[in-house]
Structure 1
Amino acid sequence: MTINVLTLSTLFPDMSRPNFGVFVERQARELASRPEADVTVIAPVGLPPWPLSLAGRYARLRALPAKERWRELTVYRPTFPIIPKFGGRTNVAAMTRAILPLVRRLHVEKPFDVIDASFFFPDGPVAQRLSRALGIPYSVKARGADIHYWGTRKSTRKLVRRAAEDAAGLLAVSDAMRRSMARLGIDPEKIRVHYTGVDLDTFELTDREAAKAALGFSGPVVLCVGALIPRKGQDLLVRALPDLPDVTLLLAGQGSYRRTLENLAQELGVERRIGFLGSVPHHKLPRIFAAADIMALPSESEGLANAWVEALACGTPLVITDVGGARELLDRPEAGRIVERTPEAIADAIHATLADPPDRQAVRETALRFTWSANGDALVAHLQGIVASR
């Protein structure tokens, strides 16, 4: 059965943000590669009112084309009004009003069979409204902060729950995420665990010492890949460094927390052993993973972090906290260590891993079940099942 899918995503890369939502894009490309699925992507862009829309990153977003071919996908980028830092709940109505005329027109030209919303907020509630307007079913995928943050805030939690109630099917990036959704009152019987994928031909084993030499590093290297925000816990890694005197810490990511981390590093006297790499293009991450002895990410919350899987595919063991799908992923001792969220526990785990490094091929084998092919198979079956059950 061939299905016509409308993929709705506020997390989708563009020319100004090539790393933004890259895994949503990869999943959409995998789905579109299947003969059973035709895929149209609508990736709405929120813009504040003039003159704020002229500033910085908003100016780059304003310049994006309304429609383009993006890596084999047809992508529409309609804009909708937002109130920076205060929008939240209002984004659902504003986004729906902005994109509904486009969706109606596309639906008349070639009727959609199902809506695939890639994030629970605001995508889920917007998909709910589009579903009512068009009379077609929808599915929503939970990835992490959309449940842990938007699903618990007083102003938005009802919107999240109602979108889940009306959905024909739900996806979660891990079984732990499925349990988190159930704790919010979402029916667990509707939720299918849908693991991410990793490009195993890109994220592969390469010579670690050669990778270090190419990047100008020597000695033990600990890498952290993630946005520089408090929830990711990079401050705990910085605080662990005084107990790891020979270690270089690389932080790949950007965010408003960078200044705080820089100040903390100076206070602790470890600033010379920290490298802020900024936003690394996704295709350049493999060589950095290859140079790292450990990938550490002491997050406060996660779904199932894509960076965890990519590190393992490169043979780089993990030091991570007991959040999200950590225990589902680390199913063997070679893959890494789950630690308490303290600098002391993190330092101890890093020291122990460096003292007795696991076989890199054994580490990589942990990631071999996370393929984009398996991800695509599951998504096609999920959406086809929704359409067939109408």
Structure 2
Amino acid sequence: MKILTFTTLYPNAAQPNHGVFVENRLRHLTASGQVAARVVAPVPWFPTRHPRFGRYAVFARVPRVEVRHGIPASHPRFVQIPKVGMTMQPFLLAAAAIPEIQRIRKEGHEFDLIDAHYFYPDGVAAAILGCYFNKPVVITARGSDISVLPQFRVQRAMIRWAAKRAAGIITVCQALKEAMLDLNLDGSHITPLRNGVDLKLFRPTDRQRARAELGLQGFTLLSVGQLITHKGHALVIEALRSMPDVRLLIAGTGPDRDSLESLARRLGVLDRVRFLSAIPHADLKRYYGAADALVLASSREGWANVLLESMACGTPVIASNVWGTPEVVSSPDAGVLMSQRNAQGIVDAVHALRTRYPDRDATRRYAERFSWDETTNGQLRLFSEILSHPTR
């Protein structure tokens, strides 16, 4: 079958870590040999590449067309309009995508189905495109698109419209399905398919060598994710005050970098915090393997891939008890869930982990339960069923 993957969450040459979880799922799907895919991943239009414009200039450096891991990807530009952009964005995305999709069809990729990721604005735009091209649409809900955005009246209405128009809905955890049921959507069209982990890429390595190369001493926590408020890096930094023998590595970039450094300096723990900036996805395994624990203090997560990646490297995790995370961390071999999402909750969880630190081989074995095979087979079943019965 031929599919068109549509999403703004997809890596590109200028943003290699952006939406890598969508690319990973698609790579394993196409590796089955049963699916051919093209990707349309729009990016915001910006007029200049000059570095003075920061992340906006990065958009201008994204190539119009590229091939990643054998999968062609197009990046048409769409216009972001200040203030009214949130409401207009699905329509602007669809308008930008139509000419590119028409070009792809002329090249011979007459796709059978649109595979969309993130419900708003991407999924709504995909539903519009499905109407325009008369193709079935499957939308994957991934986190804040369902846990946060339906709080806004207009966005909630558009999400519900897209969900009712979709031939199928995938959620990356059961908790997101339950939230969609709360929106009075038909549960028979919602299929939870959790993300997997690349067990060949993320695997145990020479831990002592990695620690020596990275200059690690003592018990070391690793926090991976964008430097934005809801990821909770500030809570981990605050927790260090009560853990004088613990050090912290933070991998990621984002607008909160300066404020996080200021916080660490103000609390007197800056000498025990190392900011790593962006780490290429494939290189994270060295940091996972060298750390004593991954800590994820997010206020919301659909299905946090970093948790499984760390476990696959043999490193247990400490995580906030939110959304799909309890479905990921469901055994002492995996790690510890915080009893409360604050600095004291992190301190207590670190103490609990250190008191009963799991065998690293057992942590790896736990992660091996989450290969991509189950997810790929679930997608193939769903897509085949939809294409066999094109009308709902």
Alignment of 1:29-44 (within 5 A): 29-44=27-42
2:14 corresponding residue in structure 1: 16
1:129 corresponding residue in structure 2: 128
1:55 corresponding residue in structure 2: 53
Is structure 2 residue 273 aligned with structure 1 residue 274? yes
| Amino acid in structure 2 at the alignment position of 1:43 | A
SS class of match (1:185): coil
SS class of match (1:369): helix
Cα shift readout 1:299-333 (whole Å, capped 9, x = no counterpart) = 11110100011111111111111112222122221
Paired with 1:346 and 1:54, the residues of 2 have a C-alpha distance of 38
- Consecutive unaligned residues of structure 1, counting only runs of 5 or more, are none
1:328 corresponding residue in structure 2: 327
Give TM-score scaled by structure 1 length.
0.94
Paired with 1:58 and 1:324, the residues of 2 have a C-alpha distance of 31
SS class of match (2:302): coil
Paired with 2:258 and 2:56, the residues of 1 have a C-alpha distance of 22
1:387 corresponding residue in structure 2: 387
2:166 corresponding residue in structure 1: 167
1:234 corresponding residue in structure 2: 233
1:146 corresponding residue in structure 2: 145
Paired with 1:211 and 1:389, the residues of 2 have a C-alpha distance of 52
Q: Which moved more, 1:360-369 or 1:98-107?
A: 98-107
Paired with 2:341 and 2:41, the residues of 1 have a C-alpha distance of 35
Paired with 1:51 and 1:86, the residues of 2 have a C-alpha distance of 25
**Aligned residue pair count:** 388
Paired with 1:279 and 1:160, the residues of 2 have a C-alpha distance of 32
SS class of match (2:368): coil
Tell me by how many angstroms 1:75 deviates: 0.8
| Amino acid in structure 1 at the alignment position of 2:254 | G
Paired with 2:286 and 2:382, the residues of 1 have a C-alpha distance of 35
Paired with 2:211 and 2:336, the residues of 1 have a C-alpha distance of 23
Paired with 1:228 and 1:217, the residues of 2 have a C-alpha distance of 22
Contact 2:173 2:302 in 1 (8 A): yes
| Amino acid in structure 2 at the alignment position of 1:383 | F
Is structure 2 residue 362 aligned with structure 1 residue 362? yes
- Quote the sequence identity (%): 38
1:115 corresponding residue in structure 2: 114
Q: Which moved more, 1:29-38 or 1:262-271?
A: 29-38
Paired with 1:150 and 1:63, the residues of 2 have a C-alpha distance of 29
| Amino acid in structure 1 at the alignment position of 2:11 | P
CA RMSD of the aligned region, Å? 1.9
Of residues 96, 99, 108, the one that matches 1:98 is 96
Change (3 A) 1:54 1:228: closer
1:243 corresponding residue in structure 2: 242
Paired with 1:76 and 1:48, the residues of 2 have a C-alpha distance of 16
Is structure 2 residue 209 aligned with structure 1 residue 210? yes
Change (3 A) 1:224 1:85: farther
Change (3 A) 1:343 1:379: same
Paired with 1:47 and 1:57, the residues of 2 have a C-alpha distance of 12
Give TM-score scaled by structure 2 length.
0.94
1:345 corresponding residue in structure 2: 345
Paired with 2:269 and 2:57, the residues of 1 have a C-alpha distance of 37
- Consecutive unaligned residues of structure 2, counting only runs of 5 or more, are none
Cα shift readout 1:46-102 (whole Å, capped 9, x = no counterpart) = 125789999333333223332222220011111111135752121111111111122
Change (3 A) 1:206 1:84: farther
SS class of match (1:366): helix
1:74 corresponding residue in structure 2: 72
Paired with 2:341 and 2:231, the residues of 1 have a C-alpha distance of 11
Paired with 1:284 and 1:51, the residues of 2 have a C-alpha distance of 27
Change (3 A) 1:135 1:311: same
| Amino acid in structure 2 at the alignment position of 1:4 | K
Paired with 1:151 and 1:208, the residues of 2 have a C-alpha distance of 44
